[in-house]
């Protein structure tokens, strides 16, 4: 950012923090805090290993220094302000899921936000309906950028280490699924068995719809499958599809399909697209609800589960107004904000303040006339 742009964004953030407070987590005094501040340089450094004894001390710090990003630890520590992790003395951590639109779909910002919200709703339902977590122990927040965070605060999970958290994220993401378990004859119906057989049925339907030559090429790329076996499989595909799912375990081509990366990707799509390293990290820092995201200017919004399906970040997470601001666009850009769509060309443009903050934070525009 140019100095004038940096000052414009910082002033807007300052105005916001003058009238709004952060929403502190439970056991605030046991959390480590980290901050990234506005700086004209491109070298972003976090000031961390900090702690606050109460919300008033935290609020005073934020209002005084006006950070661009505010984070707190998902972990609880005996001494959160200690300068090394060992000296902090870990005392447990919430179970966290991070869903980022960049890992799910690429396209217009509004499309990405809509898609990641769908994945978040799916994951919340899995946590409640399949893993048995109480909705009273689940907190959801829009990240202020491209996704959502889900916090499971049940004290029963607080002492889990990385391996236990890995099992949970593997389950919701559909990682490491064994076809022998999913397709076992007379096995009780479970959510993942229904998902897996549905994905397999859809995949075989897709394969049956290909031309023989195209299907042959696909099957030929599977490991260890010869041309003759592939042709025989494709020729009998209708009969194979009508058979029991468990019979596919004895079919060499079907097993090769289930072991292929393309099929694994379909299975992953049936699960939830959570960021695995975030969930397994027992010492993670995460954005604070009520803070502003320095990369978008939007608010990190805590959400009730009931409100998630109707939440629109491009309206509900926007905190600045419609006062006209002149910016200098670095490129052509189209986006939606506050219920309107803006198509801007490279060069000077007059835009609402809320959009100006968004564009400047995203490094798509500078304040016009600034040096």
Q: What distance in Å separates the CA atoms of residue 345 and residue 41, rounded to the nearest whole number?
A: 27
Q: What distance in Å separates the CA atoms of residue 181 and residue 55, rounded to the nearest whole number?
A: 50
Q: How far is CA 214 from CA 197, 209, 227, in A?
A: 24, 10, 13
Encoded tokens for 281: 């990290």
The catalytic position among 43, 94, 98, 259 is 98
- SS3 at position 120: helix
Task: Judge whether 275 counts as a catalytic residue.
Answer: yes
The catalytic position among 39, 54, 94, 100 is 100
Q: What share of the chain is helix, strand, coil (3-state, %, to 5)?
A: 45, 20, 35
Encoded tokens for 322: 């419609």
- SS3 at position 294: coil
Task: Judge whether 170 counts as a catalytic residue.
Answer: no
Scanning 130-211, the segments in alpha helix (DSSP H) are: 162-173, 179-182, 191-208
Q: What distance in Å separates the CA atoms of residue 353 and residue 367, rounded to the nearest whole number?
A: 11
The DSSP bridge partners found for residue 41 are none
Task: Judge whether 43 counts as a catalytic residue.
Answer: no
Q: How far is CA 190 from CA 134, 135, 213, 339, in A?
A: 19, 21, 37, 41
* 200 close to 208: Cβ distance less than 8 angstroms: no
Q: What distance in Å separates the CA atoms of residue 308 and residue 274, rounded to the nearest whole number?
A: 17
H/E run at residue 146: none
The catalytic position among 94, 269, 275, 316 is 275
The closest alpha carbon to 76, from 107, 110, 30, belongs to 30
Catalytic positions: 98, 100, 275
């Amino acid at each position: 950012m140019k100095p004038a742009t940096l000052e414009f964004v910082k002033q807007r953030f300052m105005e916001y923090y003058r009238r709004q407070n952060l929403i502190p987590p439970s056991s605030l005094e046991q959390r480590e805090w980290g901050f990234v501040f506005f700086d004209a340089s491109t070298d972003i450094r976090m000031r961390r290993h900090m702690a606050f004894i109460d919300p008033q001390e935290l609020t005073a710090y934020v209002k005084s220094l006006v950070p661009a990003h505010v984070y707190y630890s998902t972990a609880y520590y005996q001494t959160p302000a200690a300068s090394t992790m060992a000296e902090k003395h870990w005392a447990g951590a919430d179970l966290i899921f991070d869903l980022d639109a960049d890992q799910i779909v690429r396209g217009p910002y509004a499309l990405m936000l809509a898609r990641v919200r769908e994945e978040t709703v799916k994951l919340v339902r899995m946590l409640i309906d399949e893993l048995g977590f109480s909705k009273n122990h689940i907190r959801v927040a829009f990240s202020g950028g491209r996704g959502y965070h889900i916090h499971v605060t049940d004290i029963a999970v607080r002492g889990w280490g990385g391996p236990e958290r890995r099992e949970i994220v593997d389950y919701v993401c559909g990682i490491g699924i064994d076809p022998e378990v999913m397709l076992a004859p007379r096995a009780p119906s479970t959510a993942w068995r229904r998902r897996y057989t549905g994905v397999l049925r859809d995949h075989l339907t897709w394969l049956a719809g290909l031309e023989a030559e195209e299907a042959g090429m696909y099957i030929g790329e599977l490991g260890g499958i010869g041309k003759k076996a592939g042709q025989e499989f494709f020729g009998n595909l209708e009969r194979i599809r009508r058979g029991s799912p468990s019979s596919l375990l004895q079919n060499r081509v079907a097993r090769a399909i289930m072991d292929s990366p393309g099929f694994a990707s379909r299975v992953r799509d049936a699960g939830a697209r959570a960021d695995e390293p975030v969930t397994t990290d027992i010492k993670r820092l995460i954005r604070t609800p009520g803070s502003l995201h320095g990369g978008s200017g939007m608010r990190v919004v805590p959400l009730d589960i009931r409100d998630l399906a109707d939440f629109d970040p491009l309206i509900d997470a926007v905190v600045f107004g419609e006062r006209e601001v002149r910016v200098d666009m670095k490129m052509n850009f189209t986006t939606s904000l506050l219920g309107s769509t803006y198509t801007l060309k490279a060069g000077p443009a007059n835009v609402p303040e809320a959009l100006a903050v968004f564009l400047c934070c995203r490094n798509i525009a500078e304040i016009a006339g600034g040096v």
